[in-house]
């Protein structure tokens, strides 16, 4: 089974790219973030004609998550148990979507951005991760994949220029500790072992031709429970999807399971 995660930055504006991506890589399950579409706005017809089911939650502006699957889509859950709200509860909910696809529990996650250190959204991000960790502990014994945009660069090698991030979110000790806690609990970054070398980035800002200059971040991850990690046979980052006009600012990440 081949699963993928992609912060698509609007599903409607990129539906042609999504459909082409699914076919190009023969994807079974695709978790999306920043869909920026309400459920009633989903472009379903092309996906259904390709044999996929879709589950989604979100608003039409700033977030939203979805799972597209041709391997089954059962026990769909919007939000994880204990997920904290922030402001608009609908927007808060649209950051996590769980479904069982072909026996694998997939969670499409859009971790809060945090905005700035000291901002209420930064505290919310850390609280959100603490509560996600507690929920993830209860899923650890199954075949579970925590996939999505974590908005954390766990190590300095995941950042094109760490000096530029001296006062930024995504690299603070608290955020990195929150990410590391999942690894301490037994979840495994199943992608890094299959993507050796320096080209680990999954996100390049639209500004200043960051992709063309390869000045990116690695913030999109697939964390597998121990049993899922043991099934992983390969993984790659689809950098080509970030190229050209009309690309998302994130590249898809693909994982193969035995």
Partner DNA sequence: ATGGTAGAGTGTCTA
Give whole-number Cα distances, 110 to 97, 152, 193, in Å. Answer: 9, 11, 23
Q: State which of residues 41, 155, 180, 227 lies at the interface with DNA (CB under 7 A).
A: 41
Stretch near DNA under the rule CB under 7 A, chosen from 54-62, 76-84, 155-163, 187-195? 54-62
Q: State which of residues 51, 198, 207, 212 lies at the interface with DNA (CB under 7 A).
A: 207
Q: Which residues contact 3 (CB under 8 A, 6 or more apart)?
A: 27, 28, 29, 30, 31, 101, 104, 106, 145, 147, 222, 254, 255, 257
Binding mask 102-141 for DNA (x = CB under 7 A): ----------xx-x-----x--------------------
The beta strand positions in the chain, using DSSP E, are 2-7, 29-33, 53-57, 65-69, 74-78, 96-101, 104-110, 144-149, 188-189, 220-224, 232-237, 253-257
Total of chain residues touching DNA, rule CB under 7 A: 19
> Is the CB of 92 or the CB of 223 nearer to DNA?
92
Residues 56-85 that bind DNA (CB under 7 A): 60-63
* Strand bridging mode 188-189 / 220-224: antiparallel
Least distance in angstroms from the C-beta of 182 to DNA? 21
Least distance in angstroms from the C-beta of 112 to DNA? 6
Q: Give contact residues for DNA (rule: CB under 7 A).
A: 9-10, 12-14, 36, 41, 60-63, 112-113, 115, 121, 206-208, 246
């Amino acid at each position: 089974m081949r699963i993928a995660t992609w912060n698509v930055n609007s599903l409607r504006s990129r539906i042609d790219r999504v459909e082409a991506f699914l076919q190009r890589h023969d994807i079974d399950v695709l978790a999306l973030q920043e869909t920026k579409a309400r459920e009633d706005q989903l472009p379903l017809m092309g996906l259904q004609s390709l044999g996929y089911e879709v589950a989604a939650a979100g608003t039409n502006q700033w977030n939203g998550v979805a799972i597209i699957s041709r391997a089954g889509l059962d026990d769909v859950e919007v939000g994880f148990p204990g997920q904290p709200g922030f402001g608009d509860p609908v927007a808060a909910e649209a950051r996590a979507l769980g479904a069982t696809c072909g026996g694998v529990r997939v969670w499409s996650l859009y971790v809060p951005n945090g905005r700035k250190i000291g901002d209420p959204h930064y505290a919310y991000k850390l609280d959100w991760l603490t509560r996600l960790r507690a929920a993830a502990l209860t899923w650890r014994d199954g075949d579970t994949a925590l996939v999505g945009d974590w908005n954390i660069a766990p190590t300095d090698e995941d950042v094109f220029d760490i000096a530029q991030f001296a006062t930024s979110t995504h690299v603070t000790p608290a955020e990195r500790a929150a990410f590391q806690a999942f690894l301490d609990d037994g979840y495994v970054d199943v992608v890094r072992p299959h993507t050796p070398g320096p080209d680990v980035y999954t996100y390049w800002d639209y500004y200043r031709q960051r992709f063309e200059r390869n000045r990116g971040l690695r913030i999109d991850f697939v964390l597998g429970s121990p049993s899922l990690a043991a099934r992983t046979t390969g993984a790659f980052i689809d950098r080509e999807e970030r190229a050209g006009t009309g690309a998302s600012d994130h590249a898809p990440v693909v994982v193969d399971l035995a």
